Protein backbone atom coordinates (compact mmCIF):
# COMPACT_ATOMS: atom_id res chain seq x y z
CA UNK A 1 0.00 0.00 0.00
CA UNK A 2 2.95 2.32 0.67
CA UNK A 3 4.21 1.72 -2.86
CA UNK A 4 0.78 2.63 -4.23
CA UNK A 5 0.80 5.86 -2.20
CA UNK A 6 4.32 6.77 -3.44
CA UNK A 7 3.26 5.99 -7.01
CA UNK A 8 0.20 8.25 -6.65
CA UNK A 9 2.30 11.00 -5.09
CA UNK A 10 4.71 10.90 -8.05
CA UNK A 11 1.74 11.40 -10.39
CA UNK A 12 1.12 14.77 -8.74
CA UNK A 13 4.74 15.95 -9.03
CA UNK A 14 4.57 16.83 -12.73
CA UNK A 15 3.34 20.44 -12.69
CA UNK A 16 2.82 20.35 -16.47
CA UNK A 17 0.45 17.38 -16.35
CA UNK A 18 -3.25 18.01 -16.92
CA UNK A 19 -5.81 16.85 -14.34
CA UNK A 20 -6.81 14.04 -16.72
CA UNK A 21 -3.19 12.88 -17.04
CA UNK A 22 -2.77 12.94 -13.25
CA UNK A 23 -6.00 10.98 -12.81
CA UNK A 24 -4.95 8.36 -15.39
CA UNK A 25 -1.56 8.08 -13.70
CA UNK A 26 -3.20 7.51 -10.31
CA UNK A 27 -5.56 4.91 -11.81
CA UNK A 28 -2.51 3.03 -13.18
CA UNK A 29 -1.03 3.07 -9.65
CA UNK A 30 -4.24 1.57 -8.26
CA UNK A 31 -4.65 -1.06 -11.01
CA UNK A 32 -2.63 -3.79 -9.22
CA UNK A 33 -4.80 -3.39 -6.10
CA UNK A 34 -7.95 -3.60 -8.21
CA UNK A 35 -6.64 -6.79 -9.87
CA UNK A 36 -5.77 -8.26 -6.47
CA UNK A 37 -9.24 -7.48 -5.14
CA UNK A 38 -10.82 -9.05 -8.23
CA UNK A 39 -8.82 -12.28 -7.75
CA UNK A 40 -9.77 -12.61 -4.08
CA UNK A 41 -13.41 -11.69 -4.72
CA UNK A 42 -13.74 -14.21 -7.58
CA UNK A 43 -12.29 -17.05 -5.49
CA UNK A 44 -14.50 -16.25 -2.49
CA UNK A 45 -17.61 -15.98 -4.68
CA UNK A 46 -16.81 -19.33 -6.32
CA UNK A 47 -16.35 -20.93 -2.90
CA UNK A 48 -19.59 -19.39 -1.57
CA UNK A 49 -21.46 -20.53 -4.68
CA UNK A 50 -20.25 -24.12 -4.26
CA UNK A 51 -21.18 -24.15 -0.55
CA UNK A 52 -24.58 -22.67 -1.35
CA UNK A 53 -25.27 -25.34 -4.02
CA UNK A 54 -24.35 -28.07 -1.53
CA UNK A 55 -26.68 -26.59 1.09
CA UNK A 56 -29.51 -26.29 -1.44
CA UNK A 57 -29.07 -29.94 -2.36
CA UNK A 58 -29.41 -30.86 1.33
CA UNK A 59 -32.60 -28.78 1.54
CA UNK A 60 -34.02 -30.46 -1.57
CA UNK A 61 -33.30 -33.91 -0.12
CA UNK A 62 -34.98 -32.94 3.14
CA UNK A 63 -38.05 -31.63 1.31
CA UNK A 64 -38.25 -34.81 -0.77
CA UNK A 65 -37.99 -36.92 2.40
CA UNK A 66 -40.78 -34.95 4.08
CA UNK A 67 -42.95 -35.21 0.94
CA UNK A 68 -42.39 -38.97 1.00
CA UNK A 69 -43.76 -39.17 4.53
CA UNK A 70 -40.55 -39.03 6.54
CA UNK A 71 -40.93 -37.94 10.14
CA UNK A 72 -39.87 -34.37 10.83
CA UNK A 73 -37.33 -35.19 13.59
CA UNK A 74 -35.67 -37.85 11.41
CA UNK A 75 -35.56 -35.57 8.36
CA UNK A 76 -34.18 -32.73 10.53
CA UNK A 77 -31.38 -35.05 11.67
CA UNK A 78 -30.60 -36.02 8.09
CA UNK A 79 -30.59 -32.36 7.04
CA UNK A 80 -28.23 -31.42 9.87
CA UNK A 81 -25.88 -34.28 8.95
CA UNK A 82 -25.97 -33.29 5.27
CA UNK A 83 -25.19 -29.65 6.07
CA UNK A 84 -22.34 -30.71 8.38
CA UNK A 85 -20.90 -32.79 5.52
CA UNK A 86 -21.11 -29.75 3.21
CA UNK A 87 -19.18 -27.73 5.77
CA UNK A 88 -16.50 -30.39 6.19
CA UNK A 89 -16.08 -30.85 2.44
CA UNK A 90 -15.71 -27.14 1.87
CA UNK A 91 -13.32 -26.64 4.77
CA UNK A 92 -11.03 -29.10 2.98
CA UNK A 93 -11.15 -26.85 -0.10
CA UNK A 94 -9.84 -23.78 1.78
CA UNK A 95 -6.09 -24.57 1.44
CA UNK A 96 -6.42 -25.02 -2.34
CA UNK A 97 -8.46 -21.82 -2.58
CA UNK A 98 -5.83 -19.93 -0.56
CA UNK A 99 -3.08 -21.30 -2.84
CA UNK A 100 -4.97 -20.14 -5.96
CA UNK A 101 -5.28 -16.69 -4.42
CA UNK A 102 -1.57 -16.59 -3.51
CA UNK A 103 -0.57 -17.75 -7.01
CA UNK A 104 -2.84 -15.18 -8.63
CA UNK A 105 -1.59 -12.38 -6.40
CA UNK A 106 2.04 -13.33 -7.06
CA UNK A 107 1.50 -12.76 -10.79
CA UNK A 108 0.22 -9.19 -10.40
CA UNK A 109 2.55 -6.53 -11.71
Task: Centre a 10 Å sphere on the Cβ of residue 104 and count the other Cβ atoms it contains.
Answer: 16
Give the SS3 label for residue 66: helix
Nearest alpha-carbon partner for 43 in 95, 86, 87, 98: 98
Q: What is the pLDDT of residue 4?
A: 84
Ranges of residues in the chain with a pLDDT under 50 are: none
User: What was the pLDDT predicted at 1?
Assistant: 63
CA distance 28 to 20: 12
Name the pTM for this structure.
0.75
Helix-strand-coil split of the chain, %, nearest 5: 85, 0, 15
- Can you give the residue range of the structural domain that contains 39? 1-107
Alpha carbon of 66 to those of 37, 42, 63, 74, 79: distances in Å?
43, 36, 5, 9, 11
Q: Report the pLDDT value the prediction gives residue 98, as an integer from 0 to 100.
A: 95
Rounded CA-CA distance 10/28 in Å is 12
> 69 phi and psi, to 5 degrees?
95, 10
Amino acid sequence: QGAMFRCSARCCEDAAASMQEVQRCIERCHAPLARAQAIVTAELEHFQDRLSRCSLQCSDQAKDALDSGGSEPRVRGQLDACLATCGEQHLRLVPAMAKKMRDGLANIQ
